[in-house]
């Protein structure tokens, strides 16, 4: 088992742009306990996935990076010309 040096990392804010169901979100987090509460399918798990992605550089649920992009962006930000 590895040695523990007593180092703790705190996330004091989280800013997401075009991540899953969030087009834009800015969260300020407390140093203590933070709870994400809401109805089903409102993005609670997506917040946790974003934190997991930042700490491991892998998604806990997506098989490809394109699965992480907000679908509204994929549909609206690519102009088509002839």
pLDDT digits (tens, 9 = 90+) for 30-63: 988 999 999 999 999 999 999 998 888 888 787 7
**Higher per-residue pLDDT: 53 or 82:** 53
Strand pairing of 22-28 and 13-19? antiparallel
pTM above 0.75, yes or no: no
Q: What's the CA gap between 38 and 69, in Å, rounded?
A: 22
What is the mean predicted confidence (pLDDT) over 2-19? 83
- Give me the residue spans of the domains in the chain: 13-31+42-76
Report long-range pairs for 10-17 (Cβ below 8 Å, ≥24 apart): 11/51, 11/54, 14/47, 14/50, 14/51, 16/47, 16/50
Residues composing the chain: 82
Q: pLDDT class for 79, splitting at 50, 70, 90?
A: low
Q: Which tokens is 75 given?
A: 């549909």
């Amino acid at each position: 088992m590895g040695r523990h040096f007593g180092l703790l990392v705190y996330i004091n804010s989280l800013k997401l742009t075009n991540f899953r169901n969030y087009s834009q979100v800015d969260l300020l987090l407390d140093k203590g306990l933070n709870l994400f509460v809401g109805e089903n399918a409102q993005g609670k798990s997506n917040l946790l996935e974003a934190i997991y992605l930042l700490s491991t550089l892998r998604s806990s649920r997506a098989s490809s990076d394109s699965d992480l992009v907000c679908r509204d962006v994929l549909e609206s930000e690519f102009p088509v010309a002839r």
